């Protein structure tokens, strides 16, 4: 199973002011000043990044991201948006996508997106309880 005694590894983007804990078994595959991508067990992927919100509100940014995911074929099955955080998930071709976003210091946002096989739903549901951001 995915839950082992291995330690989660913190990953942060200092200039954007956030840190996420990366689950055991995920390996860094790309890194930039704005974030990083990780590859996990059984072809799972995790992307963590942040940025300035610009003129749009946090809510507008998340709603735009959900529209783009729908255009890409994701059928959204859950969504919750507040003024400071948002979560949504969807399914597509036997995969699940879980998105979590938080505001950081008002004018910035941090996001992570994890994609994994639907057959891995139970262990990843348990893992997602630990992702809360800063």
Segments forming the whole domain that contains residue 19: 9-128
Look at residue 3 and tell me if it is in a domain: no
Q: State the total domains in the chain.
A: 1
Whole-model pTM above 0.85?
Answer: no
The CA distance from 66 to 89, in Å, is 9
Look at residue 52 and tell me if it is in a domain: yes
pLDDT at 4: 47
Instruction: Assign 100 to helix, strand or coil.
Output: strand
Domain of 69, CATH number, reads: 3.40.1000.10
pLDDT at 52: 83
Above 90 in pLDDT, residue 98? yes
| CA angle in degrees (0–180, nearest 5) for 119-124-130 | 175
pLDDT at 6: 63
Above 60 in pLDDT, residue 5? no
Look at residue 124 and tell me if it is in a domain: yes
Look at residue 90 and tell me if it is in a domain: yes
């Amino acid at each position: 199973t995915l839950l082992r005694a291995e330690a989660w590894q913190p990953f942060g983007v200092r200039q954007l002011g956030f840190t996420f804990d990366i689950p055991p078994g995920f390996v860094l595959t790309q890194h930039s000043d704005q974030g990083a991508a990780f590859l996990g067990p059984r072809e799972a992927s995790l992307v963590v990044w942040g940025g300035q919100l610009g003129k749009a509100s946090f809510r507008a940014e998340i709603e735009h991201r959900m529209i783009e995911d729908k255009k890409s074929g994701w059928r959204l099955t859950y969504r919750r948006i507040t003024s400071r955080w948002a979560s949504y998930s969807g399914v597509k071709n036997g995969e699940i996508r879980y998105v979590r976003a938080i505001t950081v210091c008002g004018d910035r946002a941090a996001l992570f997106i994890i994609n994994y096989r639907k057959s891995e739903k139970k262990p990843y549901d348990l893992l997602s309880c630990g992702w809360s951001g800063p």
